[in-house]
Amino acid sequence: MKTTEPSISKKPTALITGASSGIGYALAKRFAQEGYDLVIIARNEAALTALATECQTHTVSVLIIAKDLTQPAAVQEIYQSLEEKQITIDVLVNNAGMGVWGAFSETAIEEETQLVELQIMAVMRLTKVFLPSMIKRQTGKILNVGSVYSYTPVPYQSVYSASKAFLLFFSDAIRNELKEYGITVTVLCPGITTQTNFRTSLATKKEKSFLTMPAEQVAQIAYQGLLRKKAIVIPGLVNKLYVNLMRFLPRAILASGVHWIVSVFRGFKVPKKG
């Protein structure tokens, strides 16, 4: 763990997971521009150090924590370290994620277990440990990074899409519980985002440019939505159209419809058996 300035500060502090690339990296820079101190978490310490250097230009404190959030003990270790440094979290950004592609009957359970630990269990643990302080102070913001896949089952990405659906429903539920305490919960549901590194590469062709959005643009839209206390933020017209279209598909054909759309527009190939 490294810090670029003394740990005690009067500035608000944002904790961002998965900050080494993509949306998390861009969000960290955005929060720094707005004067937030940062706690940035990822496995890649070198990438976090580079990010901290960029953020330092805005005269903010940056605490680097190189941790693997798929490890159950990681969150408690992070929490204890912040308590010792007397760092209070004002904004919690649950962004860390990974992808697993393939038929569920053939994918590795070890990878899927890691995905569940990262995109479900770590989110629950982080929210659980930082909520008491937010409730006591009657203020706080939570940004959970879901996906347009939060709304649909996606064949060959079954566990990934299910984990994103969890984030949407979990966020909806706790938002209702926490509104009396002045705590907001926002879900970001982006589509295809550039400059994002998943642990497992997806079997895609080159995706059509009109479907993609740079991580910096997604982060800007997410930040604005968070400040406006929006429940759900879906960046881009194409993504909004996709989500609304899925709402009208009969459930009996929803999964097959999604698979056709993903195959045509994202170039996913159905793995051949044998």
Q: What is the pLDDT of residues 256-274, one digit of tens each?
A: 777 776 666 555 555 554 4
Give the phi and the psi of residue 20 in degrees, each rounded to 5. Answer: -80, -15
- Output the pTM of the full model: 0.88
Q: Would the pLDDT of 7 be above 60? A: no
Least confident range of 52-56, 57-61, 194-198: 194-198
Token digits of residue 175: 């938002």
Higher-confidence residue of 3 and 37: namely: 37
Q: Would the pLDDT of 191 be above 60? A: yes
- The pLDDT assigned to 189 comes to 95
Strand partners, 187: 144, 232
Q: Which helix (H) or strand (E) holds 215?
A: helix 215-227
pLDDT band at 204 (very low <50, low <70, confident <90, very high): very low
Q: Would the pLDDT of 6 be above 50? A: no
User: Is residue 274 in a domain?
Assistant: no
Residue 97 makes CB contacts below 8 A (sequence gap 6+) with: 18, 118, 119, 145, 198
**Total count of domains within the chain:** 1
CA dist 86 and 129 (Å) reads 14
The percentage of residues in the chain with a pLDDT greater than 70, rounded to a whole number, is: 85
User: What average pLDDT does the segment 63-75 reach?
Assistant: 97
CA dist 255 and 149 (Å) reads 11
Name the residues annotated as catalytic.
160, 164
User: Is residue 90 in a domain?
Assistant: yes
Higher-confidence residue of 27 and 203: namely: 27
Least confident range of 47-56, 72-81, 264-273: 264-273
Q: From residue 123, give the alpha-carbon distance in Å to each of 68, 163, 170, 258.
A: 13, 11, 10, 26
What average pLDDT does the structure give for the chain?
Answer: 88
- The pLDDT assigned to 49 comes to 98
CATH number at residue 259: 3.40.50.720
User: What average pLDDT does the segment 217-244 reach?
Assistant: 94
Strand partners, 144: 94, 187
User: Is residue 272 in a domain?
Assistant: no
Strand partners, 13: 37
Q: What is the pLDDT of residues 115-160, one digit of tens each?
A: 999 999 999 999 999 999 999 999 999 999 999 989 888 888 899 9
- The pLDDT assigned to 243 comes to 86
- The pLDDT assigned to 196 comes to 59
User: Is residue 76 in a domain?
Assistant: yes
CA dist 216 and 195 (Å) reads 9
Residue in the block written with tokens 């009396």: 180
Residue 94: domain span: 2-266
Can you tell me whether residue 64 is helix, strand or coil? strand
Pairing, β 232-233 against β 183-188: parallel
Residue 190 makes CB contacts below 8 A (sequence gap 6+) with: 23, 145, 147, 148, 213, 218, 222, 234, 235, 236, 239
Chain length of the chain = 274
- The pLDDT assigned to 193 comes to 81
User: Is residue 273 in a domain?
Assistant: no
- The pLDDT assigned to 215 comes to 93
pLDDT band at 107 (very low <50, low <70, confident <90, very high): very high
Residue 27's closest CA among 141, 127, 137?
A: 141
- The pLDDT assigned to 203 comes to 45
User: Is residue 207 in a domain?
Assistant: yes
Using only the alpha carbons of the chain, give its radius of gyration.
Answer: 18
pLDDT band at 199 (very low <50, low <70, confident <90, very high): very low
pLDDT band at 4 (very low <50, low <70, confident <90, very high): low
pLDDT band at 201 (very low <50, low <70, confident <90, very high): very low
pLDDT band at 253 (very low <50, low <70, confident <90, very high): confident
User: What average pLDDT does the segment 50-61 reach?
Assistant: 96
User: Is residue 271 in a domain?
Assistant: no
User: Is residue 157 in a domain?
Assistant: yes
Token digits of residue 235: 């960046």
